[in-house]
Structure 1
Amino acid sequence: MASNNKTLYLIASKLGLGEEDKVLKKAAEFERLLQTKNMAGSNITDTSKIVICLDLAAGVLGADLDIKSAVKYSGLKTSTYTNTKKVVQNLLELNSDRLSTTMLCLTLQCTGVQELADRILAEYQRLAKVEVDLNLPQYVCMAVYQACRLSKVKVAKSKVIEKSRLKPAQWTKLDADWTKFTDLHFEAAKKKGRQTKKSTETVENEELMEIDMPKVEEVFEDKIEPYEDWKKRMLEAAYKELKELEKIEKKNVTPRKSPRKTPQKFAPYKSPVKTNGVRLLFPLDL
């Protein structure tokens, strides 16, 4: 696609769009469609076509583009560039005054709901009691918004309201009516959106379980100890504790004291002896 078009990629790089893959693909698509259109009487060159296609693709996808640089690389004057761009827009049916579900889905980056949005528009027109101009931006915006709601696709509501050209109060009233309409006639799409979300969560939970289970088993395997090793470890701990208890008991035992002798009231002398009227005391061992 865009990667095969060297000229497109070269010009996109000069315009600062070399890294914008979506813009490159959309510009390549516009260029191929433009080749099938008749541009009789136009002197536009291939380079000018590529620049204008990049300009239009950047506008659709909301990418930044310097218009002065685009005019410079196109080789056209500013007025000629503007007129040629309008011609290309009309040929590619990209007139900004006419909003379509395709253009809006591209802008909001929700192309997956375009088919459902078209079905909602067609059903609304079929059941409407009055003639409805589905080209009006409010109906296109509401159909895309309801399709996103049913499909559980998040979009910027402020951008949708801006594109609808309605005031907030007008949008709220129209939103209430269309919500009842879509819930009544597109209940299957609503249930499908819910089931898709639920199934996605279920798959994610199952994947988490599959990832977590081996880890739990590994933890239990690491904690298992052979019986012989456990027995040896427990016996060693018991012997060690027993030795500690024996040491403590030895320290607490007090030594036995010898019997204490009863102190004598008098000194160890013999009974007094009288000699010539003199009282003498002799020791017992004399």
Structure 2
Amino acid sequence: MSGLALERMALRLGLREQPLIRKANEYERLLKLKLIGNNKISDSVQAIICLDFAALQFNDSFDSDLALKLAGVRKAVYGNYKRTVGKLLGIDDIVSVNSLCVQYGCSNNIQDLAVDILKYYQDNTVENCDWNHPQYPCMAVYKACKLEKVKISKSKFLVSSRLKSAQWNDLDAKWTKVIEKGNFHARTEGCKMKKKDDTTSIKDIDKANKMNQTVKEQSTFVEDYETWKRRILEQARKDIK
């Protein structure tokens, strides 16, 4: 498939970022060289898989259902082709914020927050890191889930991160120190609505307390006898006149 054809396929999949498309073209050119004399994967499927890998590389969303329709193959077949292409290109199934959120069923709020956390850490760490290692997107999603109070087993992140427990704990401590400076907060609408409801409840309680205090003051007021007597006599004289 030519570069122009791949770009049209990218547009059909909703992928418009030029760096991503250039990366997919790079993957496709390399794949053509690897498949010389042994090409069992159609050009369109090759292009889609290369776009799939490029989207993972750039943490961009990828419509897997639409990709399967455009590829015209079953999900299991696509998975086998993808593993084959990954081996030929010398890349693993890239672990990214996007792929982790899809795998764990995380919301868009968590995904967006994790991307921001990862970017902030990249911009503020002084370490020379291999950002292609899965530990970084794993920790970003893990931190985002904690902020959003979404419980996902840490053991799952450990497996995806390819770290040992002690290494994970060390990384967690480093990220905690850096991220605290970023002042990150949960982004779910539920949290915002809850805060608004809490404010409303406090106002209602204050209003009710004031009303109760007024009633209490009125109920505790006692008119002495002489004052009552004068008031009654004054009212009687007015009535006679």
Q: Which has the higher helix share?
A: 2
Largest Rg, 1 or 2: 1
Instruction: Indicate the TM-score class for this superposition, using the shorter chain for normalisation.
Output: 0.3 to 0.5
Using structure 1 for the length normalisation, give the TM-score: 0.40
Structure with the larger RCO, 1 or 2 (CA within 8 Å, 6+ apart) = 2
